[in-house]
Structure 1
């Protein structure tokens, strides 16, 4: 792209290639967190000292919360009025917490408090790598006017020439008008910054006038933009090509900023711990490392799966990460004929199992297991593909790693689930896996027999809460799934997830609303007879997910000795209407004993 063409971005001085992703400076940590904006929170934390790698100074980090309705989610489902925190852990709960004073005391004024929510299936690292100045909040919008309001607010924090992006989490189905904003509508609220809105995982996209000028100025791998600002998906996928041009302009500092933004948005919706299920890597993996760099055909779910953690790792090393992250490792190598026999297949998985450790790290960042799959799912009718998939299960079992399987859309198939259950039984017979806590993701239509067999193997399930977005009532009147009530009744350890960032939003309150009402985004009943109570749904997102992450001793409830993660809500989750419950937002989020999100709603917190 020529200098003159690049100058078309703003009509002013030509920006450097990094200007599109340039950092914001000069904001204080307190001012940003109180404001509640993700951009603000991220920028404010840049360069701010914080506790490093879970270490605390017990003398000056005590926090006392009083006068609340604190739902501990302990074995008795106790509700208390006070909790005391020191050194990153709960040190007293209930009446014991109220004994003695504290220099850092918060009056909750009767607000409802719950443990920090845990996400057991997310593609969160993708959010943490979004190019530009990302507007994650657009997934919370109910209509086009609210999308525009989020874009307008974001513009205030973006320097001239900076690209405003909104990707993945928001789709037209969520908005009342069932469409994205028009080019003219975006221009009206953001006339002086380029804007790029990208739907779901593979486009299409919509830009404003400056965005149109930017993409049309690119001569190397040009992007076609329609007059109304639409960048088409399809083949060739121009939206993916546009995404590529933003990704190759990202600097490492840009990626750090995006990771901080992602953490801040996560805290703002009440999630305090994430199990990242990584991304679909190029199928040939390490056989062609160059193919892992950004490609013009890549959609949002594709990143270099070796380097995509670098920004987060650097922030964690500096003590600046403030959301707990657990990393699974997905492997996308199916049958590759040129490798030869079965003993030569799965080279990347074999190297992973030899050279990395499961559950290795600290309280804020650690590895997990293999998931959401060890090799692409293939039925026995696909002889080579099935042989490789089954061999991947065997390799994981032999190496004594935790293993998960998710079959995407076919997870709604009882036959696909049966294949997984039978393979797990075979692995247990060969190697013994009961102590490894293998998992099944989605599990929408698991039968009572399948659940009983998984439970016997000490397996757990993480149940999808995202069917609210795309699901429609079935013609036969049966539930669209998951069978929340039946799965819970089986007694198998059950957590919940939203599977956010690409196919669904990150916000857990949408999933909680669906599990308890069965209503889709259009207000239609799509899961009749499978609703669970609000207490049961919240338990799945706290205690259930803590078990699924192998962290029930430290997370999931507000109890003495556990890690101090909690969320203060703007509404009472247990008593508000169904519609209002879906709109719940935290006013205060605490992770590791630190306030990481604060709207200022509690008096004295500004």
Structure 2
């Protein structure tokens, strides 16, 4: 029997209640209380961790991310923070020169954001720009949102595209004046281009996965709900085997719940019949098979989020529907019949409304026993939020998106709609079940900048003073609960995960400062000094 005790801490149990110490046996909390009683219960031979007065919170649980995507990005051309198209080109040329072994079949990059360019033109890169990196191998660099990519001429040629080529289904590529592709790809066209670069070996992907898991644990995450299967360029079964092998081999203890994407309803039904859900669902090894993951629209930054009205700064454009209502209905009916939860990427108000309507059509008796989730749920008005609450639907929010989005929402959607969007406070007041996350690698998976954004509604520079639409702020307890107990509810674990109480798993983070008393603007700087999963110290700084 493995015994573990945590003493001399400020342990967050629930709103208004703290404890000094806790005791766990075989990974499950048995007692929470004062130092003396915990030391007595632990007895000799137990591992004792002295918090030295530090604050302890439940292990953080990212409700939606792409963990292998984080690991893959660590080995790609990284373009976050690029200040111009010219800098993208310069970084690409340098990466190609310094890492020829990674670029034998092409250059893959991610992270640029044209709205943050402050040198030269504020525009999307195109094939002519990327031809300066290479004309011999394909170059594909994805925008930070992953819904837009720029590719070079070689990539266009390899895709067999030319003047007046037909557009892809659920995706598009922009054209130059003569009808030749410009190199700007959107939505499913991005996936087509990305597949030009051959996948890595299973062993290489496993190493990337483990590296990303270590990074997550070092930032206080003990659970992730991750859409890698069907999202990264690895067959679904092969991806699940990689995750299972990493856990079975003891290479990570991070709890992992699959969110799985399929190209067609037929593929989803084949997966259900194939037995993978039973084969790879292994809670004892910290791996579970979770919901079907769907994509309804694009991104706000790329103006491909599906809107009810035209974008104010792009008249005539209402975004991109990446999955028709009819196809979504077929997916959701198949999921309902198999007892499978659904989580749907929906950012624009039209995409959110259509997603809610689809869920309503498949829910039995107007109830939501499968806990279907609206992921992102960014652009909303009050009636739409009230409808979500009345339906008992869940929401996976990424408050860290505000860091950038607050600077573009009003120009895209207008002040009135902006004021009811990213509605963390309203969602909490309406009682909508909410889990927080980061959508990493779209944003860094560290949870504390995300919590800070929810609490302050200010960006990393502390702007605007007082917060952006401050009526939607939440307090620290609400933000932590959304990242722990709320995320656990989304995965049906509210009775054994997300609280530091008897009967719950001993997953926790010991923080380097008190998140409840430090200046709110400093929350984003917090880091754990230790992370514990199942009563085992898996990270210590």
Do they fold alike, i.e. is TM over 0.5?
yes
1:355 and 2:274 matched: yes
For the residue of structure 2 that corresponds to 1:371, the secondary structure is: strand
1:64 alignment partner in structure 2: 5
TM-score by length of 2: 0.71
Q: Distance in 2 between matches of 1:62 and 1:509?
A: 29
1:535 alignment partner in structure 2: 477
1:593 alignment partner in structure 2: 535
What displacement does 1:572 show? 1.1
Q: Distance in 1 between matches of 2:502 and 2:216?
A: 25
CA contact (8 A) 1:397 1:433 kept: no
From the superposition, tell whether residues 518 and 386 of structure 1 become closer, same or farther in structure 2 (CA, over 3 Å). Answer: same
1:200 and 2:119 matched: no
The alignment of Structure 1 onto Structure 2 pairs a total of residues equal to: 446
Q: Distance in 1 between matches of 2:50 and 2:504?
A: 22
For the residue of structure 2 that corresponds to 1:436, the secondary structure is: coil
Q: Distance in 1 between matches of 2:485 and 2:87?
A: 38
Q: Distance in 2 between matches of 1:373 and 1:563?
A: 32
1:234 and 2:234 matched: no
CA contact (8 A) 1:277 1:371 kept: yes
1:395 alignment partner in structure 2: 334
For the residue of structure 1 that corresponds to 2:501, the secondary structure is: coil
2:360 alignment partner in structure 1: 425
1:366 and 2:288 matched: yes
What displacement does 1:530 show? 1.2
Query: How does 1:539-554 map onto structure 2 within 5 Å?
Result: 539-554=481-496
2:313 alignment partner in structure 1: none
1:318 and 2:249 matched: yes
| Equivalent in 154, 157, 172 of residue 81 of structure 2 | 172
1:4 alignment partner in structure 2: none
From the superposition, tell whether residues 598 and 425 of structure 1 become closer, same or farther in structure 2 (CA, over 3 Å). Answer: same
What displacement does 1:552 show? 0.7
Q: Distance in 2 between matches of 1:383 and 1:319?
A: 38
Q: Distance in 2 between matches of 1:400 and 1:184?
A: 46
What displacement does 1:450 show? 3.5
2:180 alignment partner in structure 1: none
From the superposition, tell whether residues 186 and 595 of structure 1 become closer, same or farther in structure 2 (CA, over 3 Å). Answer: farther
Q: Residue by residue, what CA displacement relative to the aligned partner does 1:392-428 show, whole Å, maximum 9, x if unpaired?
A: 2222222221112222xxx231x33222222222212
1:439 alignment partner in structure 2: 373
CA contact (8 A) 2:509 2:532 kept: yes
TM-score by length of 1: 0.64
1:308 alignment partner in structure 2: 239
For the residue of structure 2 that corresponds to 1:396, the secondary structure is: helix
2:213 alignment partner in structure 1: 263
From the superposition, tell whether residues 400 and 62 of structure 1 become closer, same or farther in structure 2 (CA, over 3 Å). Answer: same
Q: Distance in 2 between matches of 1:309 and 1:319?
A: 16
Q: Distance in 1 between matches of 2:516 and 2:322?
A: 50
What displacement does 1:271 show? 0.7
CA contact (8 A) 1:555 1:562 kept: yes
| RMSD (Å) for aligned C-alpha atoms | 4.2
Q: Residue by residue, what CA displacement relative to the aligned partner does 1:550-569 show, whole Å, maximum 9, x if unpaired?
A: 11111101011111100011
Unaligned runs of 5+ in 2: 115-130, 142-148, 156-182, 184-189, 299-304, 309-319
CA contact (8 A) 1:171 1:199 kept: no
From the superposition, tell whether residues 399 and 519 of structure 1 become closer, same or farther in structure 2 (CA, over 3 Å). Answer: same
What displacement does 1:434 show? 2.7
For the residue of structure 1 that corresponds to 2:52, the secondary structure is: coil
1:459 and 2:393 matched: yes
Query: How does 1:115-264 map onto structure 2 within 5 Å?
Result: 115-128=58-71, 130=72, 134=74, 165=75, 171-172=80-81, 199-200=109-110, 221=137, 233-236=150-153, 248=199, 250-264=200-214
Q: Distance in 2 between matches of 1:582 and 1:450?
A: 30
CA contact (8 A) 1:203 1:233 kept: no
| Equivalent in 519, 539, 552 of residue 458 of structure 2 | 519
From the superposition, tell whether residues 481 and 166 of structure 1 become closer, same or farther in structure 2 (CA, over 3 Å). Answer: farther
Q: Distance in 2 between matches of 1:216 and 1:182?
A: 9
| Equivalent in 314, 331, 346 of residue 262 of structure 2 | 331
Higher strand share: 2
What displacement does 1:126 show? 2.2
CA contact (8 A) 2:30 2:503 kept: yes
From the superposition, tell whether residues 186 and 220 of structure 1 become closer, same or farther in structure 2 (CA, over 3 Å). Answer: closer
